[in-house]
Amino acid sequence: MKNVRKNFCTHFLAQLITPCGSRLLSWKDLRFLKRVSNKGSVPAWFNYLFNLIVILNSLSFFILQQFRIPSSHTVASISFIDISRNYWFNPQWAISFNRNTNSFLVGRVITTYPAPRNEALISHWIASSVDDLLSEFTACQGCASAIPRSSTSKTLIKRCPSEGCFSYVLLLSLIRYPTKPRTYIHADTRSVSLSASLGYAKSLLLFHLFAPVRLPPTNELVLRISDIQLPSSVFTLYIDGSFLSPPSRPASSMAYAWTAIDSDGFILESHYNIISSIFPSALRSEVFALLHGLDSLPRNSKITVATDCAQLLSLWSLYVDAPFIFRMLKEFNHLLWSSIRTIMLQKNLDVTLIKVPAHADDPLNNHVDALAKAAHTDSHLSSCPPSELMAPCILQFNSLPVDMNIRKFIRDIFDAKSLLTLAVLPRFNSYSSISDIDWACTKFCLNNNKQFASHRNGRSEFCGFRIKLLLDMLPTLTTLQRQKPHLYNPSWLCPQCNSFPETLDHLWTCPYILPEFSPLQTFKTLLLALQTTYLDHFLSASSLMPLPDSFAAEFMALNCWDCDPPSISCLRLTRGLIPISLTEFLGVYFSSPTIWSILDTPLHDFHFDLYVQIWLCRSIFFHHWELAQGITKKMKSSALGPSSILRPSSNIPLDSSTPSLATASLDSWVSWVSSTIIRGGSWISHLDFWHRLTVQPLLKTSFW
């Protein structure tokens, strides 16, 4: 599962398209640009994307209008001609655009002439094919664009035996053609194969020549966040945000305020409001105050914005007062920052941010501070709908904007879905009340890093044991009897005690006694050791309140420690399913992170002891017993019994005595993730589905 997630590498569309934003890059170009893995064939997701966004039958991979990205948000790494290099030993390939003939010119740089000439002499190369996804070129032997041979240095030309057509190009309109460092000419065929496609090189050049010129918005119907229009006499804006969160109030609340001052220090207008709860944080309320204030300004304003939030200043210089960088998309509130960029551009604003000390005697700062705080309690206010963001592209989840690191967001979705998948597995439904298990803690203990570290150290067998133990997939006799009834007679009992069916739980409760091997005795000893270790850890951990004298006695009285005979919650804990009775008892005294981190490692060690002292011993015994029954390894692997073609999910016996079973609905993860957006924090804290369990028909399909 972890591997799937690790390989669940996400790309932004902007990374996969040409710098001009209108064409999908070919897989070959993406590889050359190192934006995708250099190994393997074209993956299915790329073909899917191709069919989704590329215009049908477009030879040059032009993409549908709705997927085009403005060139202000695309990736373009342009290299210019390095005039300090020796062109003979370090050939530089270049592309330029002739504005008179409206044609591209690809060539090799022969030499450059520094200022004031600022020109390069390049040889002319012609694409071998009209398909600009290719990158094969042959040397032009003379054409209309060529300069007379007499006007160039004969010594230079002599050093270019393959080339026959030369021209002077302004350095300003010339960029490097992206190719491997040493791309040489095949002298016999007078041809060269450059790394990137001609289409990509053209797009890069067009971006360089035309994209930096920002055109004024053609559409006058501009979206607005603020419905206030300040007069042009506004000189300074004081802004502030306010954030209240539990426990001071039931749900977190964000508000903002600004006050506009003219050059004489008179207040022109003040405004305050609450903000709809999306990724609530103090910083978000500050950023929103800035956004709303700027959107209230008239065009071409030159103003100073005063804030007491130092972080706002540093983010401003990083994301607004600078060219667009991709790192912004990894920030929380990137949609707000993006909207601020849009407003700055559309209104042609000249803004300087200054820092004023917080809670000092700046009366205007105290004024906006008080306004923002007052907004929380003003019942007449209604927040702006979140859809009024002005970012160029907005990813939505369940119609909520995803204003956080998108990769991390997708990872969260994956985690939420995998936990749900685990919880609705039919094998857990045979317990009549799965809500008695603390799933979040169970998943934490199973996924801890130590387990995966040990995996790398060659203890993968043990990792497999832990997972199979949790899922009841260990090859016990009852499992084998179900899977291969023609080899394992269904009437056979536990080979050790010959008194009970050998189920998973029987592994620990088998009454078989040998001087050196007694499963039940070993199990009791290990469980007692686990209990003692836990108790020691909790007694020395920092607790939320002083531990009462009765803590140790109450902890040891929990029914998950009852092992003679083992209680249901004891058997669950043994499998790695943390009983909710355990975490609820501990939750009175300790925070969840403390509980989880203490439960984690001793449980891992407990499982390792079970593995070595019970499972491995039992498996050696079992192997000899199988041989005695005439069951060989070959029979086990080759025999295709009548039942082995059945889907594994249908082999799982379901407790038919349980009339109806509670399960989480399969789309619970949507509400967990939505809840993360609205209330903030990790999705794992929003696992409220157990509290509103509904009785549903038993799920019979396996989602594993």
Task: Check binding of 165 to Zn ion (CB under 5 A).
Answer: yes
Q: Which is nearer to Zn ion, 53 or 165 (CB)?
A: 165
Largest CA distance in the chain: 106
Residue 478 near Zn ion by CB under 5 A: no
Strand partners, 7: none
- From the list 9, 59, 78, 143, which residue makes contact with Zn ion (rule: CB under 5 A)? 143
Shortest distance, CB of residue 516 to Zn ion, whole angstroms?
Answer: 16
Q: How far is the CB of 423 from Zn ion (least distance, A)?
A: 31
* Binding window for Zn ion (CB under 5 A); candidates: 90-98, 159-167, 215-223, 320-328: 159-167
Residue (165 or 204) nearer to Zn ion, CB: 165
User: What is the tally of helices (H) and strands (E) in the chain?
Assistant: 24, 16
Binders of Zn ion among residues 15 to 54 (CB under 5 A) are none
Residue 10 or 629: the one with the smaller Cβ distance to Zn ion is 629
Which of 28, 482 has the CB closer to Zn ion? 482
Structure tokens at 630: 């005439």
What is the smallest separation between the CB atom of 146 and Zn ion, expressed in angstroms?
A: 5
Of 428, 471, 426, residue with least CA distance to 700: 426
Buried/exposed 393-417: b ≥16 CB within 10 Å, e otherwise = eebeeeebbbbbeeeebbebbebbb
Contact 19, 29 (CB under 8 A): no
Q: Using an 8 Å Cβ cutoff, are 92 and 103 in contact?
A: no
User: What is the smallest separation between the CB atom of 605 and Zn ion, expressed in angstroms?
Assistant: 25
Choose between 141 and 232: whose C-beta lies nearer to Zn ion.
141
Neighbours of 422 (CB within 10 A): 18
CA atoms of 13 and 409, how far apart (whole Å)? 16
Among 32-40, 158-166, 296-304, 522-530, the segment contacting Zn ion (CB under 5 A) = 158-166
- Per-residue contact flags (x/-) with Zn ion for residues 438 to 477, judged by CB under 5 A: ----------------------------------------
Gap between the Cα atoms of 43 and 7, Å rounded: 12
DSSP summary character for residue 681? S
* 3-state DSSP assignment of residue 315: helix
> 581 or 613, CB closer to Zn ion?
613
Distance of alpha carbon 512 from alpha carbon 510, whole angstroms? 6
Residue 470 or 477: which CB sits closer to Zn ion?
A: 477
CB of 684 to Zn ion, least distance (A): 39
Which of these ranges, 135-143, 285-293, 386-394, 630-638, lies near Zn ion under the rule CB under 5 A? 135-143
Question: Which residue's structure tokens are 């053209």?
Answer: 202
Whole-angstrom Cα distance, residue 241 to residue 256?
4
Residue 110 or residue 598: which is nearer to Zn ion going by CB?
110
Q: How far is the CB of 523 from Zn ion (least distance, A)?
A: 12
Q: Give the separation between CA 131 and CA 160, rounded to whole angstroms.
A: 27
Q: Which two tokens stand for residue 107?
A: 């060539």
Distances (CA, A) of 517 to 291, 310, 443, 492, 566: 72, 67, 32, 22, 19
- 124 contributes a contact to Zn ion by CB under 5 A: yes
Among residues 25, 63, 105, 140, which is the contact residue for Zn ion, using CB under 5 A? 140
Q: How far is the CB of 479 from Zn ion (least distance, A)?
A: 15
Least distance in angstroms from the C-beta of 152 to Zn ion:
14
Q: By CB under 5 A, what part of segment 565-604 binds Zn ion?
A: none
Instruction: Name the minimum Å distance from CB 641 to Zn ion.
Output: 25
Q: Does 147 bind Zn ion (CB under 5 A)?
A: no
Residues 296-335 that bind Zn ion (CB under 5 A): none
Dist CA 497 CA 513 (whole Å): 8
Query: Of 485, 519, 483, 515, which is closest to residue 622 (Cα–Cα)?
Result: 519
Q: Indicate the DSSP class of residue 7.
A: T
- The answer to whether the CB of 597 falls within 8 A of the CB of 585 is no
Which stretch in 140-148, 322-330, 425-433, 612-620 sits in contact with Zn ion by CB under 5 A?
140-148
Minimum distance, C-beta of residue 161 to Zn ion, in the bound complex (Å): 16
Binding flags for Zn ion, 488-527, as an x/- string (CB under 5 A): ------x-xx------------x-----------------
Q: d(Cα 228, Cα 281) in Å, to the nearest integer?
A: 25
Assess 351 for contact with Zn ion (CB under 5 A). Answer: no
DSSP, collapsed to helix, strand or coil, labels residue 106 as strand
Binding segment for Zn ion (CB under 5 A), chosen from 143-151, 520-528, 574-582, 660-668, is 143-151
**Residues sharing a CB contact under 8 Å with residue 609, sequence separation 6 or more, in sequence order:** 526, 529
We find the least distance from the C-beta atom of residue 496 to Zn ion, in angstroms, to be: 4
Instruction: Count residues near Zn ion (CB under 5 A).
Output: 8
Q: Are 255 and 322 in contact (CB under 8 A)?
A: no
- Specify the stretch interacting with Zn ion by CB under 5 A; choose among 163-171, 192-200, 218-226, 389-397: 163-171
* CB of 126 closer than 8 Å to CB of 138: yes
> Segment near Zn ion (CB under 5 A), from 157-165, 186-194, 554-562, 602-610?
157-165
Nearer to Zn ion, 445 or 469 (CB): 469
- The CB-of-502 to Zn ion minimum distance in angstroms stands at 6
Q: Measured between alpha carbons, how far is 649 from 646 in angstroms, rounded to an integer? A: 8
Span near Zn ion by CB under 5 A; candidates 10-18, 117-125, 475-483, 538-546 = 117-125
Residues that bind Zn ion (CB under 5 A): 124, 140, 143, 165, 494, 496-497, 510
